[in-house]
């Protein structure tokens, strides 16, 4: 006999588990199907969280190893204990995935271990050690994404791998080659560069960080190269093969590269295999995503989709917001995500953060705008931190002064972008932000000054 619930969520990542919790808060009887032993999805287990733990640890190691004498701190005998660093990373992951399990228990969410496959309208089969048939009026697909591969390069789980393998290399590579100059490639390349590896980033396009504001990306490229990361643009990888403990990376008619680790970071693909979509007549779009309307509904009544399996940026927080909006739509009839106010962050050093429209997008769409730019080198707090590379760039509509986009490269950009996201969410103008009092001395004063710059009256530059 099938087990009945009000809502079944397939996938327990940042979209699925957040949707389940919100649905339980709204009074639904919720089931979640997850095939991995730990909850939290790619983000918590093998993505956002472990990578940030390694970024933080490697940055501290690099900072201590390469000099604090400007601060009057002398350090000797610094050693890298990679095994302990990786153990710390795993402990952070374990704590947070355990926290999700606690939240499921708190909200009385039923968890089924296995693979979820839709067998008909309102019906899902749990395939695993304990098969179950479930029924529910509403089904939310939140199965996330997986690393994309490229032709001519086969993952071997050791020398050639994706981000999962790069989070747990047993030793620091002598030479790491990264295919792809996006968020993941630059973050993990930065980790291993700080720990002593030679790092070469190979990018097919003529720029790094595609989709991000070009001026900010170009500044980031200069900074990364100063940090010792070699970047090869306009370069395609045609093949890669393992030769003993080395990898030979073929670059078409260019000189091949020999390295000891190869990280493929060319993006991610929706995980929609074996979900039973064909059983209910749901066809994928040309990019392998599940088509939805503005209320996250698929072609089929009662079936919804969120996160990396649908259109939009593949970001954990985007999935979470969609999960909340989706179940609120189901229960209350209201739920909304403002896609213009979703920030993106690259957790390198310096951090890079963006929200809203880029200058290229505004130019292409012929939207009139004013621009304000303020460098961290003129910010007192940044100077005191000894970390003053980068700038804040603000774009506002030339006629209404409404903030359209904010792009930051500099210290703690990932935290600073939150103010800009809130400003865009509430339709604030540059004048609004410029007239808001910012504590002194803080890094956030750079946003105020950029807003003043939009108006042509920056104070400290």
Is residue 440 among the annotated active site residues? yes
CA distance 395 to 348: 23
Q: How many CB atoms lie within 10 A of CB 75?
A: 12
In the numeric block, which tokens belong to residue 79? 């050693």
Instruction: Supply φ then ψ for residue 302, to 5 degrees.
Output: 90, -5
Report whether 445 contacts 379 (CB < 8 A). Answer: yes
The one catalytic residue in 66, 317, 349, 440 is 440
| Half-sphere exposure of residue 154: CA atoms within 13 angstroms, side-chain side | 3
Peptide bond into 441 cis (omega under 30): yes
SS3 of the chain: CCEEEEEEEECCCCCHHHHHHHHHHCCCCEEEEECCCCCCHHHHHHCHHHHHHHHHHHHHHHHHHCCEHHHCECCCCCCCCHHHHHHHHHHHHHHHHHHHHHHHHHCCCEEEECEEEEEECCEEEEECCCCEEEEEEEEEECCCEEECCCCCCCCCCCCEECHHHHCCCCCCCCEEEEECCCHHHHHHHHHHHHCCCEEEEECCCCCCCCCCCHHHHHHHHHHHHHCCCEEECCCCCCEEEEECCEEEEEECCEEEEEECEEEECCCEEECCCCCCHHHHCCCCCCCCCCCCCCCCECCCCCEEECHHHCCCCCCHHHHHHHHHHHHHHHHHCCCCCCHHHCCEEECCCCEEEEEECCHHHHHHCCCCEEEEEEEHHHCHHHHHHCCCCCEEEEEEECCCCEEEEEEEEECCHHHHHHHHHHHHHCCCEHHHHHHCCCCCCCCCHHHHHHHHHHCCCCCCC
End-to-end CA distance of the chain: 72
Bridge-based pairing of strands 351-356 and 369-375 is unpaired
Name the residues annotated as catalytic: 440
């Amino acid at each position: 006999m099938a087990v009945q619930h009000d809502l079944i969520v397939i996938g327990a990542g940042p979209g699925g588990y957040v949707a389940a919790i919100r649905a339980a808060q709204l009074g639904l009887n919720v089931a979640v199907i997850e095939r991995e032993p730990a909850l939290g999805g790619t983000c918590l287990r093998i993505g956002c969280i472990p990578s940030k733990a390694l970024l933080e640890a490697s940055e501290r190691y690099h900072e201590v190893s390469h000099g604090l004498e400007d601060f009057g701190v002398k350090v000797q005998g610094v050693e890298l204990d990679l095994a302990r660093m990786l153990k710390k990373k795993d402990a952070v992951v374990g704590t947070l995935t355990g926290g999700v399990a606690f939240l499921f228990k708190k909200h009385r969410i039923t968890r089924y271990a296995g693979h979820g496959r839709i067998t008909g309208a309102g019906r899902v089969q749990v395939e695993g050690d304990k098969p179950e048939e479930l029924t529910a009026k509403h089904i939310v697909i939140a199965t996330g994404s997986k690393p994309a591969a490229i032709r001519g390069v086969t993952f071997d789980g050791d020398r050639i791998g994706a981000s999962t393998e790069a989070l747990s290399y047993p030793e620091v590579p002598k030479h790491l080659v990264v295919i792809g100059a996006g968020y993941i490639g630059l973050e993990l390349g930065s980790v291993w560069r700080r720990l002593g590896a030679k790092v070469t980033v190979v990018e097919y396009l003529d720029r790094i960080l595609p989709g991000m504001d070009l001026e900010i990306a170009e500044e980031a490229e200069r900074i990364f190269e100063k940090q010792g990361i070699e970047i090869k643009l306009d370069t395609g990888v045609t093949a890669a093969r393992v030769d003993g403990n080395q990898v030979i990376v073929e670059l078409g008619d260019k000189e091949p590269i020999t390295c000891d680790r190869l990280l493929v970071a060319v993006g991610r693909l929706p995980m929609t295999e074996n979900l039973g979509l064909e059983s209910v007549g749901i066809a994928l779009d040309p990019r392998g995503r599940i088509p939805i309307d503005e209320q996250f509904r698929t072609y089929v009544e009662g079936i919804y989709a969120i996160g990396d399996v649908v259109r939009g940026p593949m970001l954990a927080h985007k999935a979470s917001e969609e999960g909340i909006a989706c179940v609120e739509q189901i229960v209350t009839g209201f739920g909304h995500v403002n896609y213009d106010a979703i920030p993106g962050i690259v957790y390198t050093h310096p951090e890079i953060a963006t929200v809203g429209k880029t200058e290229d997008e505004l130019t292409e769409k012929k939207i009139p705008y004013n621009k304000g730019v303020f460098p961290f080198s003129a910010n007192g707090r940044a100077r005191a931190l000894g970390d003053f590379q980068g700038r804040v760039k603000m774009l506002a509509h030339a006629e209404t002064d409404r903030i359209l986009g904010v792009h930051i490269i500099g210290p703690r950009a990932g935290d600073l972008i939150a103010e800009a996201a809130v400003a865009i969410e509430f339709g604030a103008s540059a004048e609004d932000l410029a007239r808001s009092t910012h504590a002194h001395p803080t890094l956030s004063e750079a946003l105020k000054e950029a807003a003043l710059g939009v108006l042509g009256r920056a104070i400290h530059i």
